[in-house]
Amino acid sequence: MSQPVVTCPECAAEIELAPDTEQNEIIICPDCGVDLEVVSLDPPAVELAPMEDEDWGE
Ligand SMILES: [Zn+2]
């Protein structure tokens, strides 16, 4: 079985997803360190995770 591979939208690195990766999981690109959200597993796809900004206290 081949490992699912996704491409980092930030730096275009190819990232192998761990076999136990779940949808909506946040992974970190080993190349550029950006947070990526697994938006789909079939086919495997990731998007840049929304920035978890500090809560500015509205
Ligand atoms: Zn990257």
Arithmetic mean of pLDDT over the chain? 91
pLDDT, residue 52, reads 67
Would you say residue 35 lies in a domain? Answer: yes
Would you say residue 53 lies in a domain? Answer: no
Would you say residue 55 lies in a domain? Answer: no
| Cα of 58 from ligand 1 centre, angstroms | 32
Side-chain half-sphere CA neighbours of 27 within 13 A? 27
Would you say residue 56 lies in a domain? Answer: no
Whether the pTM exceeds 0.95: the reply is: no
What are the percentages of helix, strand and coil residues in the chain, rounded to 5? Answer: 0, 35, 65
| Cα of 14 from ligand 1 centre, angstroms | 8
Would you say residue 57 lies in a domain? Answer: no
| Cα of 55 from ligand 1 centre, angstroms | 26
User: How would residue 50 be classed by pLDDT, with cut points 50, 70 and 90?
Assistant: confident
Terminal CA-to-CA distance of the chain, rounded, Å?
A: 49
Q: What is the mean pLDDT of residues 19-34?
A: 96
Would you say residue 22 lies in a domain? Answer: yes
